[in-house]
Amino acid sequence: MSDELTPSRPIPIEHTKAADEGPVERYVFTPPIDIYETEEGLGLHADLPGVSVESLELQVQDNKLTLFGRVNDVIPEGAKILHQEYEIGDYLRSFILSDEVDHERINAKLTNGVLEVALPRAPKSEPRRIQVKTD
Across 1-5, 57-61, 62-66, least confident range = 1-5
In CATH, which of 3.40.109.10, 2.120.10.30, 2.60.40.790, 1.10.260.40 is domain 5-73+84-120?
2.60.40.790
Examine the pLDDT at 10 and tell me if it is beyond 80.
no
State whether residue 96 is helix, strand or coil.
strand
Question: Model-level pTM greater than 0.75?
Answer: no
DSSP character string of 31-83: --EEEEE-SSEEEEEEE-TTEEEEEEEEEEETTEEEEEEEE---SPTTPPPS-
Q: Please write the tens of the pLDDT for every residue from 83-120.
A: 888 778 899 999 999 989 999 999 999 999 999 999 99
